[in-house]
Amino acid sequence: MRDSDFNLILKLGSLFSFILMVYILLPFIDAISFGIAFAYITKPAYDLFKKRFSKSTSAILSILVLTIPVIATILIILEQLIYYLLNLDVTQLSASISSLITKISIYDINLTQYWAPISADLFKFLEGILNGLLSQLSMIPLVMIKVLIILFMTYYFLKDGHKLLRASLVHVPECYQAHVRIFAQKLNDFYKNMFTGTALTSLIAMVIAIIGYQLMGVPSALALGVLTGICVLLPVIGGWGVYMPLAIYYLIQGNILYALAIYLFGTIFLSFILDFYIRPKVVKSGGNVHPVMTLAAFLIAPLTLGIAGFALGPIIVGAFDSLYGLKDGEVSLINLRPNCELSTISQLDTDEDEE
């Protein structure tokens, strides 16, 4: 067999193996993406732990820093929800709603004629949601498997993620390696900014909400504050996803001043200051990311891809932005010089022992 024939077979075999690998991993691409996202989110904690512990121990501790608060939050919210349902004064709530309807009826609005069709549509809507939840019960084993994959991926991305670039460069011609290094550096900066900046903004919102709700005497201030931080991670929803329903609840209860105080607190601190001052400061400190890229990563991608879009969106948009950012002033991946006369870029060299 000639060398050319053997090289052709080797290339075809490599391509076939790559396609099979993509086929195997594609159903779990969302779990892998969340593993990458959580690795970047927990990277600051990992760097702190690594000063005193081994890489494996630091990665485990970093994952615990992320998972323990999430599990504790879920348990607190469930506990508060059960407590609220068990102690719900249905009579008082019904009287409050009746009082509100009576006040509205002063303006000669006949709600009776609208209530029947509205209630019918509401019950159909709730029935659809319930059927959807029941149909999703069969997905619980798959969800648990994906959770385990996310944890393992986060662990190994933290522990061995710094080796990915060096392992990839082995398969890249030497004259192209400088380009790939620049691209990888830009990609790393983008991901660090998007994931870490978003997580930091959520943490700040959580602290502000807990302090504010605690000072105003709102029950379950801790759970509501943590829930606010989670909502800040979600596109469009933000902090108003918690303080608006809370204000409406106290409005229905007839406590207008309390509802107004919660609304003003949320609007000023959890919407205006957070979105127009804190978030830009945090994002700017992590790098220069255009607002359109942020919108595409955290709003358009989840609307298109669903829950997986929260992690896949920044990854896809980050790759596009990094490719587009390789301008003529640096090195272009598209306009390569035929002779490949590129100088070594020492500041982008990666040490195998450093991350």
pLDDT in tens, 80-98: 667 766 765 656 656 666 6
More confident residue, 85 or 193: 193
Amino acid letter, 103:
K
Place of tokens 């820093």: 65
Most confident of 10-14, 206-210, 275-279, 290-294: 206-210
Q: Which residues contact 189 (CB under 8 A, 6 or more apart)?
A: 286, 287
Query: 318 or 349: which carries more pLDDT confidence?
Result: 318
Between these two residues, 240 and 123, which has the higher pLDDT value?
240
Reply yes or no on whether the pLDDT at 201 is more than 70. yes
pLDDT at residue 75 in the model: 75
Compute the radius of gyration of the chain from its Cα atoms. 26
Inform me whether the pLDDT recorded for 248 exceeds 70.
Answer: yes
Nearest alpha-carbon partner for 195 in 291, 96, 298, 345: 298
- Residues 151 and 279: their CA atoms lie apart, in Å, by 28
Bigger pLDDT: 353 or 17? 17
Asked whether the beta carbons of 59 and 159 are under 8 A apart, the reply is yes
CA distance linking residue 188 with residue 355, whole number of Å: 11
DSSP 56-94: HHHHHHHHHHHHHHHHHHHHHHHHHHHHHHHT--HHHHH
Whether the pLDDT of residue 324 is over 80: the answer is no
**Cβ neighbour number for residue 79 with a 10 Å cutoff:** 12
| Average pLDDT taken over every residue of the chain | 75
| Whether residue 297 has pLDDT greater than 50 | yes
Written as six digits, the tokens of 25 are 């991993």
Residue 131 has pLDDT above 70, yes or no: no
pLDDT given for residue 160 in this prediction: 87
Q: What is the model's pTM?
A: 0.67
Residue 192 CA to residue 197 CA, distance in Å, equals: 7
Distance of alpha carbon 70 from alpha carbon 147, whole angstroms: 13
Q: Smallest Cα–Cα separation from 345: which of 222, 130, 101, 182?
A: 182
pLDDT band at 332 (very low <50, low <70, confident <90, very high): very low
- Both tokens assigned to 295: 């919108």
Q: Are 350 and 166 in contact (CB under 8 A)?
A: yes
Asked if pLDDT for residue 76 goes beyond 60, the answer is yes
The predicted pLDDT at position 112 comes to 53
Quick: pLDDT tens for 136-148. Answer: 566 778 888 888 9
Question: Is pLDDT above 80 for 269?
Answer: yes
CB 246 within 8 A of CB 270: no
Query: Residue 96 in 3-state DSSP?
Result: helix
Both structure tokens of 3 = 């060398």
Whole-number pLDDT of residue 349: 44
| pLDDT score recorded for residue 350 | 42
With 60 as the cut, is the pLDDT of residue 354 above it? no
Comparing CA positions, the residue from 245, 282, 223 lying closest to residue 70 is 223
